[in-house]
Amino acid sequence: KNKNKNLNLIKLLKQSEKDYTETNAWSSNLQILAWPIYPIQEIQKYYRDEDFEKTNWIPFQWIQIVTEQLTPVYSAADWVVYNVSNNPWIGINWALIIHPKWYATVYLYLNNILVNAWDVVRRWQLIWYSWWEPWTQWAWFSSAGPNLTFIVYKDWVALDPLQFLDLSVIENKEI
């Protein structure tokens, strides 16, 4: 049953990708994603944060957006939810969405995930809520506060998410 569902989905994705032309925004890589949380209060950590790399010995290849606990989180663009980790008993919940031209977005520190693997989603569709308030389940004392960690991949290489987001919508430029 799942094999047939996956084959039909793959056929749909291939046809859908054919419909995108080279003049589409996905080929220019500029401001093609919607902010997954809005309004933006603060960006806590930026792509390639040197302090994080010095402390943890791995490159920081994402951004962390500060938010309130249980803030709605939206899909940054259309296409298909590839995988969801929505387990109330084990650590970090996350979701991975595949987009045209094999871009992917990953969302970390989620609660109340409203989508499942293989669901088709639209840009700005409510798909879950933010999480990770200090001392809540699985955050304990290690959290610096509720946030959404947002990652963008192209062909499974991490890219700076800010190059794909419209920075002009941020009212407070100090953040």
CA distance 86 to 28: 33
Q: pLDDT tens digit string along 16-29?
A: 555 544 435 555 55
Position 5 pLDDT exceeds 50: yes
Residue 92's Cα: distance from chain center in Å? 14
- Average pLDDT on 44-61 reads 84
Provide the whole-model pTM. 0.77
Position 60 pLDDT exceeds 80: yes
Instruction: Look at residue 46 in the predicted model and tell me its pLDDT.
Output: 83
pLDDT band at 73 (very low <50, low <70, confident <90, very high): very high
